[in-house]
Every structure is written in structure tokens, then in C-alpha cells.
A and B are shown apart, each in its own frame.
Chain A
Amino acid sequence: MVAASMNDVRGGTRVEWDEVQRVLLRGYPKLPWAHFLLLRVVRPAEARRFLSGLLGSGLLKFGWGERHDTETTCNVAFTRDGLEALGLDAETISGFSPEFVEGMVAGSRPRKLGDSEASDPSGWLWGNAQNSVHAVLMVYAPTRAARDAAVDRERARFSESGLEEARGPSGEALGATHPLPDRREHFGFTDGISQPRFTDEPHAIRSRAAKESDRLATGELLLGYPNEVGLLPRSPVLSSAAKARAIVAGLDGDFGRNGSYLVFRTLDQDVDRFWRATKTALGRDDRDARVELAAKMVGRWPDGTPLVSVPKGAAPHADREDFDFAHDDPWGQSCPLGAHIRRANPRATLARDPEMAVKKSKKHRILRRGRSYGDPFVAHLSPEELIKACDDAGGRPGPRGLHFMCYVADIANQFEFVQQTWLNGPVFQGLHGEVDPLAGNPAPTAGLFTIPGHPIRSCVHALPRFVNVRGGAYFFLPSRSALGYLASLRD
């Protein structure tokens, strides 16, 4: 295997876990209340002192931690503009990936990601030119009260720390989350079931063992280590002058090592429109058929049971992870070819040889760490309640959705690839002009969704768009040493 020449492959890829910010390693299951404070650097020297203080306070967490941690925790990530504002030199910044350097709203990127019309960056609440963001301070806490206390405490310090919080166009606060029961998202479906795992993760940190097809080479999620093809991901390297200072900060020249890219997109979910569309599409008000249609769009039943395992009617005991499309459902008769989870992770259907296919799919995985925001549509997120509230116009108003977050080592080949080629790919798996019915941008197509069946398929037409982007940016999650280096910069 060939190593990229910018960095040599280090012998024995022992991962320096204690350098890695904890949000990459843990989903913080015991810390359901979160707030993502979107910040701008106004006075760099004070901001660097703030960062220094954060590092010293022990609030920023690194490494795997303990299994049942319930301490309020923080992690921090920066956009390219943020790193520049803090004083990172231009040469080092040019060593990041082009997607990170250009940003999520630059040039043709919105077109490729499907961010058009209602999702166009001109209408975003944050992350566009009107409201640019430099950093995100992610606060995670066990209770609402603890979360609010932590956020208030940090907010009180921003003005004296040369930081300002980015607010929405009407002054609204951004970034608060609202945990939903049973790990559901707002449409009523259990989310976050399938996740990639590190090959070297310590035992007993997780409740279940990882499937072989979920185990990724470290370099798929962390910079500084070999990825699935044995190459090091592109990583920013400090210039020799900068290196001299870096050694003091404990950083060995590779600024990106033990860091990762964070893709953060605020996704608005129109719950009412979603459940109403199931009635329109069927042309009748059959509740079970509506739930089944919704499940076909997602690829799982609302409780998370995969359609492939249990085609008709959910069975809660079915293993939600133990299935494969190639083996169990090659023609999409149970889980349609264009369903959301099938597009987000095609598993072993990417090649004729299943082993080759799994190898291919491992190059395009993303590690998800998103959190829901906004009041739930109804108190109890069962499909029955949701449908009833939708039909009776009794759902709660006001914005809700998902702060979608994922970590990857290669934005283009992982996040953007999945978004463009799979989710929004009109000819995905040989389909004729349809996109992900749940999360895709149907504008270039006619809102078509094909449900394979026997002997003949059914088609749904004119599905509207349910998920729209309201903000987003590419961030970088630096390692402990890289943060220390940033904090030590001078103007």
C-alpha cells in the first residue's frame, strides 16, 4: 500500500485516544440534553484565552471516559473562518481538505447537496454569508436544568471573551436541542440505529459488540491513521516556523492528527406535511396502510425494526441490526430500493461479490451524532398519535427538526458522496429518476417513489419535500494538542 507522502505511515497504528475529543467516541447516551452554541470570534486574543480556560477547566472531555458518565461535558469545533480568526496561518489552513476550506455554501456545492429552493442557503438561519459561524461549542448535560445552567454560565462569559453568539435573523436563539422519547426523531421513527464503530475500541464501553461490516479502519473517522485503503487522509501540516512553537504545545507538526471533520446541518422537519402526504398518496384514510407507506419510505418500522427482517407488521424482538439487503432482499420487495436507510447505507449491494461490496460500503460511512430540536408534534410520538394529530390539525406548531451532525475524515468521499450519489441520486441502483422520499430533494424529479411488489410495483407520485436545510457548515474537531496550539497562538 502507498502512503501519502505528506505524512509517513507510523508503524503500529496505536490510536492516541486521549487526544481525541470525546464526542467522536461516545454519543453521550446519559447526556440527552444538549445545546450547540454557534459562535463568532470578535477579539482573537480574548477568544484564545477563553479556549485556554476551557481546556484547563476540565469541561472539555477527551478519550473514551467511563461507560455511565453523567457529568456535564463540552466539545468544540471550528470552521475555516474560525481557525483563521483565531490566528491559524494561511499555509496550515490550505492543508485542510478543499471542501472544508471552501465551505458548505461555496460555488456549486449547494447544487450538489440538493440545497435549493426552500433549502437554499440564502434562506438559512446560520452558516451563510449573512450569518457566518466560526465555532460551535457543544454542551451536553444529564438534565434540562443542568444544560441550561451550563449554557447560561458560558453565555455570561462570551462578551468578555471576545466571542459573540450567532442568532437567527429575527434574533432567535439557535442550537438548543430537545430529546425525544425512545431515541425517536420527529416523524416518529427510531433513529441512530446503525453506526460505524472503531476497530480498536476498548471492550465493555458499549453494550453490544460491533458487526464486522460496521468496523471501520481508524482513518475513516480520524485524521492521522490509515483508512480503509491503507492511505492517510489529507491532513494539515504546520509550516516549519509554526512547528517550533507546536512542540511546546505537544503537537508533532501534524495539526490535523487525532482530529476529524464535523458536518453540521440544521434540518427542518415538516411532520404535518409528512403524515398528510401518506393519506394523499394512498388516496384513502387507512391508518395501517399509511404507517406501512411511511415505513416503506424509511426502510424501517417506526420502532426501528428493519423492513427486511419483518416485511409485514413489526415484531419488536427482531434484531434491528442483523440484516443485509443483498442476501435478504435483493429486489427491494421488503425494503424498497430507494428507501432512506437503503440509500444511506446500501450495505452489501454495491457489488456482485458481497465481500467486495462491504469493502466498498465501508469507504462511505458516516458517524452520526445529531440531536433533535423543537417541541414534538404530539406528546407521545407513536404513529397513531401523529396521524390523529395531523388529521385533526391538533399538532403543536413551530419549528422542529434535527441538528444533523456527522463526523468523517473525508468530507467529499463520505458525507458529500452519500448525500449526492445515494440520497439525492436519481439513478441510484438503476432507479429511473427518483430520490430519497424522506430526506431527498425531489425538485429535479416528480416526487416519484417506487415500491417494488409482486407481481408488479406500486408507485407514489408528487411527494413533496419534507426536510429542508435551515443552516449548516463544515467544522473541524481538533485534538487536545491542536486546541492547545490554537490557544497559544499570538497575533
Chain B
Amino acid sequence: MTAQGVFTVVTEVLPDRVEALSSLLEDLDSCLDGESPGPPLIDLAAVDTTHFVRFAVLPEDPDGKRHLLFSTAFDGPRQLHLSELGKKASAGLCRIYDHCVGFPPEAKTAPATLLAYLERHCLRHAALHIGYVGRTIIDIKREDELRRFIESKLDAFRAAGGAVESAVGCRNRIIRWVTESEYRWAVEPRRNDISPLGVEGAVRSALLVSGVAFVLVGGGAAAFLVAGLPGVGVYLAGLAAGAGGTYALLRSHEESEPAKSDTNVVKGREHAEDEDFTIRNQLTHLAYIKPGWFRKTLLKAVLAAVELRARFEFYKGDLGGIETIHCAYWTVLDGPRPRLLFQSNYDGSWERYLDDFIEEAGGGMTSVWSNTVDFPRTKNLLNEGAQNERVFKAWAREHQVRTSVWHPAKPDISIRNVNDNSRLRDGLRGSMTEAEAKEWLRLL
């Protein structure tokens, strides 16, 4: 079954090659944007299993090392996407990875070696949300072309004095136009081998939940076997004490940890300069996880819960009520001082995106990021935190990472457009009543 996913690679950059790498990436970005002449180092348009590509040089870690982040969102299967990268982008990728530690020189002549290197440094995400579930980038592009085709046929028909009868009549006319054109593929049934995002992800989450349930129930059963009903009572009391203790520990952390409380943006205002060239924007965000086992474990648990909801609930299109996200995911960068990496591609302005986070998913966002350093004061894991709007926004800017290359395959349409285009296409099949046709025609 085809799956959609993300591929994230983090590699250490050779200390004296950081500048050269940044400059190479800036060149790639301006070639891709059409600002510089000449072919780009990597012709990302040719890799047609990619929704977007990102390169960023992450800020220094505690040991002074810099890392290169490379990520793609792809239409699967994963191996196909990687082999396509190997076939079409290996020269450019080799030039880039030449700046990184441990890159084998022989990879330049053997794409398999390049891919092996990337796989070695690939990180699995902790939680992932995709808004365009079930539609490949090719689907997205051609469904938009289909809509434009129908719109222009309609305009021409009206301009030529064509009379519009009923909604059903209009729909039939449109179906006829489409069937007689090069868009006749649209009236065929949709390929249904695109799974709603990773059977693998769903299975993992299900296993996790089953595992936890098994341990809890198993513990109770064991207590019963050993000491009967009183044993179960002691077991339950133990669980309650454990929960109470955890809560107390959480509160004591929340009260005592340093937290941002002002609305000053100490750094990061300049990221605004890279935004709003099209309706699509991106956010690469990196924050240190608060020290200690408690916060690290709590973060992993929260991310597992987000992943669970994403697999079983959010896959329908919106991340907890936010309908403007194309792709958003969290990755933990392990180490003596671990960091939480967040990457997102969304519609509209940064200001509006964070407003949506605060309004629709404020509790969820707080539960994730309150485990990172300097996050605004939080209560009970979910409250306050991101609700403190101006402080939260200032904090978010301060931890944003300069992204050298960010290239979405189709930046000029929103997730809502994508979904409306799919609904338009799907409405070309089958029959509709007058009322149904009227509703379908509203998509135009």
C-alpha cells in the first residue's frame, strides 16, 4: 500500500565548512525561486514524489557543533521516493553532504552509498500530521488544473450567451466537457491504494496503547492472583499514589522552572522577512527540552498521544481544529541536552497561524512545548502557556530557525483549495439530485 510520510536527516557539519555550506544552500534557494539564473543544484521539480523540501543549518548545540537538517514530505512508498532522490538529485546532494562529517567520497559515483549515508542519519518523527491525506502531489497539481479548466469552460460558455438551466443540467454539461477533454481521467474512480497516512504509524500507536493497557490490567491481575481482592485494592491505591505523585512533581516543576514572561522579541524578528512571498509559509522551530528525566519522559508521552490522535482522528484533515496546515511534525534530537525540532508548512501569515494554534489547539500545543526551556508559565500541563498570546508569540519567534532552502511543490493553493478541488473532482462521478448538484456547483 502506498503511504505518505516525511523523511528527516540530521547530520553534523564539518566545523570549517559551515559558511560554505550556508552559501551553497542560499544559492540553491535563489535558483529554485527563480531569482538567480542557471539550473539549481538540485532540480526539485523533477523529484515528483515530493510535496516540499527543506534544508536548514541548525544553531549550535551545547558542544558547539552545527547540524544540517534535510527533510522532505513524500508520496510513498518510501523506497521509491529515496531511489528517485538517488536517481535525480544525487549529484547535488553529494555536493551538499560533502560538507558533512563522515560523508564517504565514493558516494559521488554510487547513489546507493549516498542513500545508505542518509538512512544512517535519518530520524523518525515523534508525531506527524498531514493535511493532504490521500492525495499525491500529482493529484494536487492536476486537480487544480482540472478546476481551472472547468472554470474557463464555464466562463467561455456564459460569455457566448449560453443559458444556464438547472443545477443538474449544468453539472451534466460540465461532465461532458471533462469527458471530451484531456481531463477525462477525472471521471475515473480515484486510485484507492493511498492509505490515510501510514498503516505503520497506526499500527505503532495501536501497539503502544495496547501495551499500556496490558501492563495496567496485567498488574491488577497479578495483584489479584497474589493477594486477592485486597491485593487489587493495594494495587489501585499504588496507582493512585503514583498518579498523585506525578501530578505533584509536575506542579513543582511548573512553579519553579524559569519561564518567559515578557513580550519582547530578543531575536528572530528577521524571520518575518522570509515570509509571505506566496500564501504558503513554513516554520522550523528548535527548542531545548527542559533538563531532567521527568520532562523528557513527559514530552515523549505527550508526543505519543499527539501521534495517536493524528493517526486516528486528525487524518481527516485538520490538526485539532486548525485547517490551514499542510504538514507539521515533531522530531526529538537526542543527546546529552536533547532538543525538540518542529517543522511546519501552513497557509497564511505566521501571525494568523499562531493565533489558530492558540485558539483551536492551545492546550495541545502547551502540553508539548511546556516541556521545553523558557516556555511561558504553564499550569497543569494544558493551561495558560500558549494562551498568554503575546508572550507565546515572542517565544516562538525567538526559537525559530533560519531555513536556507524551502521549496514547496505547489505553493499557490491552500489546503482548503486542495480539499475543495478533490471534492470537485469526486463530484464528477455518479448522479446527483438537484440539491446535491447545487451544493457541488458552489465549489466553483
Contacts and interface: CB of A to CB of B under 8 A. Distances in A.
B439 to A, nearest CB: 9
Contact of A455 (B164, B388, B420): B164
A360 B359 contact: yes
A240 interface: no
Contacts of B232: none
A427 B277 CA distance: 14
A142 interface: no
B261 interface: yes
A363 B358 CA distance: 13
B417 A430 contact: yes
A452 B359 CA distance: 30
A5 B442 contact: no
Contacts, number: 99
B262 to A, nearest CB: 6
B369 to A, nearest CB: 16
A456 to B, nearest CB: 5
Nearest to A101: B269
Contacts of A108: 272-273, 275-276
A283 B444 CA distance: 22
Contacts of A231: 388-390
A339 to B, nearest CB: 16
Interface string B268-295: 0100110111010000000000000000
B351 interface: yes
B26 interface: no
B442 A112 contact: no
Contact of A420 (B276, B391, B412): B276
Contacts of A111: 276-277
A425 B70 CA distance: 30
A433 interface: yes
B167 interface: yes
B444 A456 contact: yes
A364 to B, nearest CB: 9
The CB with the most chain B CB atoms within 10 A, among A360, A412, A432, A458, is that of A432
A461 B352 CA distance: 29
A53 interface: no
A449 interface: no
Interface in B320-362: 347-349, 351-352, 355, 359
B347 A427 contact: yes
Nearest to B348: A421
Given A107-B272, A229-B389, A112 B416 contact: no
A111 B167 CA distance: 41
A2 B379 CA distance: 11
B158 A458 contact: yes
Given A425-B348, A427-B279, A432-B147, A6 B444 contact: no
Interface in A69-117: 94, 98, 107-108, 111-112
B278 to A, nearest CB: 8
Given A231-B388, A420-B276, A426-B279, A433 B412 contact: yes
Contacts of A6: 262-263
Interface string B13-41: 00000000000000000000000000000
Contacts of A149: none
Contacts of B412: 426, 433
Nearest to A452: B442
A456 B352 contact: no
Interface string A1-43: 1101110000000000000000000000000000000000000
Interface of A is mostly: loop
Nearest to B358: A229
Interface string A330-349: 01000000000000000000
The CB with the most chain B CB atoms within 10 A, among A5, A108, A283, A456, is that of A456
A47 to B, nearest CB: 29
A115 to B, nearest CB: 13
A420 B278 CA distance: 12
A427 B413 contact: yes
Nearest to A450: B444
A245 interface: no
A413 interface: yes
Nearest to A5: B261
A416 interface: yes
B48 interface: no
Contacts of B167: 454-456
The CB with the most chain A CB atoms within 10 A, among B262, B384, B416, B442, is that of B442
Nearest to A433: B412
Given A6-B262, A98-B265, A413 B351 contact: yes
A432 B444 CA distance: 9
Contacts of B165: 455
B169 to A, nearest CB: 8
Nearest to A412: B351
Contacts of B155: 459, 461
A463 to B, nearest CB: 14
Interface string A226-266: 00010101100000000000000000000000000000000
B221 interface: no
A331 B420 CA distance: 14
Contacts of A459: 151, 154-155
Given A6-B262, A454-B438, A112 B158 contact: no
B170 interface: yes
Nearest to A234: B263
Contacts of A452: 442
Nearest to B438: A455
Interface in A278-318: 283
A425 B164 CA distance: 30
Interface in B371-391: 377, 384, 387-391
Nearest to B147: A432
A317 to B, nearest CB: 31
A5 B352 contact: no
Contact of B420 (A413, A420, A430): A430
A417 B444 contact: no
B416 A430 contact: yes
B414 interface: yes
Interface string A359-395: 0100100000000000000000000000000000000
A457 interface: yes
Contacts of B413: 427, 432-433
A413 B358 CA distance: 13
Contacts of B389: 229, 231
The CB with the most chain A CB atoms within 10 A, among B261, B277, B279, B377, is that of B279
B441 interface: yes
Interface in B415-436: 416-417, 420
30 contacts: A1-B387, A2-B384, A4-B261, A4-B263, A4-B388, A4-B390, A5-B261, A5-B262, A6-B262, A98-B269, A107-B272, A112-B349, A229-B387, A231-B389, A234-B263, A234-B390, A363-B355, A413-B351, A426-B412, A427-B414, A432-B413, A432-B420, A433-B412, A452-B442, A455-B165, A455-B166, A455-B437, A456-B164, A456-B444, A459-B151
The 8 closest A-B pairs by CB, nearest first: A455-B167, A427-B414, A5-B261, A430-B416, A2-B388, A108-B273, A234-B263, A2-B384
Interface of B: 147, 151, 154-155, 158-159, 164-167, 170, 261-265, 269, 272-273, 275-277, 279, 347-349, 351-352, 355, 359, 377, 384, 387-391, 412-414, 416-417, 420, 437-438, 441-442, 444
